[in-house]
């Protein structure tokens, strides 16, 4: 009888835990946020950054958080431009980060990008808490104006706005259309480049094999049409294996292999 009771308690306990996960519980998002922020930049007032961050979504309908809700956050922790070393990507996140390491700057290398990469968060009306799971946090398929999607849209716009010099974007050259018109790069970043700051845009098509004709892809014609004509357009093709080899052998040199 004692063992059976213990089993009942155990099962009941598991049920409570499962229910908590399904329903969603507020979590301590603040402390890890501030800790990661300080690791990235000790000179930044990370408590002030957190305050501006949570004001964007706390006590709000998680499907009605517009990109503009993060305006204050962007003013408190704007991305710092690195002329000639800013790297954008679309469909190539993993290899882009390999290429960027120690040389270029991606959006995930900025203060806010590094703190919030791969994170999920949201609030709900009537609550001052932050949630990271459960029905409280909708995905982009549930609603477009959710806290996470809106943040990356706003951060991407800011990242593109401060881009300067020779800019590079890595696109997936193995796709039928390397330039996807509904991607963040197409809708926000490409059109956000300022011609008085950006000298050129080099499109690097990352391919599995050597093709030699990918720069003639029709989707890239659309890219050129969207790009400000004052910004020089360059297209290169490079295999993923060559890029990976270059990242391993380049040493301290950041001279590109394309």
Q: Would the pLDDT of 9 be above 90? A: no
Task: Say if domain 26-249 classifies as CATH 1.10.3720.10.
Answer: no
What pLDDT shows up at residue 16? Answer: 39
Predicted structure pTM score: 0.87
C-alpha–C-alpha distance, residues 233 and 223, integer Å? 10
Contacts 24+ apart (CB under 8 A), 95-99: 95/170, 95/206, 95/240, 95/243, 95/244, 96/170, 98/243, 98/244, 98/247, 99/170, 99/243, 99/246, 99/247
Domain range list for the chain: 26-249
What pLDDT shows up at residue 5? Answer: 44
What pLDDT shows up at residue 26? Answer: 67
Q: What percent of the chain has pLDDT over 70?
A: 90
């Amino acid at each position: 009888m004692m063992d059976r009771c213990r089993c009942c308690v155990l099962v009941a306990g598991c049920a409570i835990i499962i229910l908590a996960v399904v329903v969603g519980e507020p979590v301590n998002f603040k402390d890890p946020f501030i800790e990661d922020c300080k690791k990235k930049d000790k000179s930044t007032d990370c408590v002030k950054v957190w305050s501006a961050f949570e004001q964007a979504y706390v006590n709000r309908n998680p499907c009605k958080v517009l990109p503009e809700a993060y305006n204050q956050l962007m003013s408190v922790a704007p991305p710092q431009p690195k002329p000639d070393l800013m790297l954008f990507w679309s469909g190539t996140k993993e290899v882009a980060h390999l290429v960027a390491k120690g040389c270029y700057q991606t959006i995930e290398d900025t203060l806010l990008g590094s703190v919030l990469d791969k994170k999920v968060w949201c609030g709900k009306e009537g609550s001052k808490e932050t949630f990271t799971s459960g029905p409280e946090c909708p995905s982009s398929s549930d609603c477009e104006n959710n806290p996470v999607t809106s943040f990356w849209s706003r951060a991407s716009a800011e990242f593109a706005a401060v881009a300067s010099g020779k800019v590079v974007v890595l696109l997936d050259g193995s796709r039928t259309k390397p330039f996807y018109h509904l991607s963040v790069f197409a809708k926000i970043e490409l059109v956000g480049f300022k011609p008085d700051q950006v000298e050129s845009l080099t499109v690097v098509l990352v391919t599995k094999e050597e093709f030699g004709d990918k720069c003639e892809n029709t989707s890239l014609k659309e890219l050129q049409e969207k790009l400000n004509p004052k910004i020089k357009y360059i297209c290169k093709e490079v295999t993923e294996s060559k890029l990976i080899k270059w990242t391993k052998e380049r040493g301290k040199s950041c001279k590109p292999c394309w």
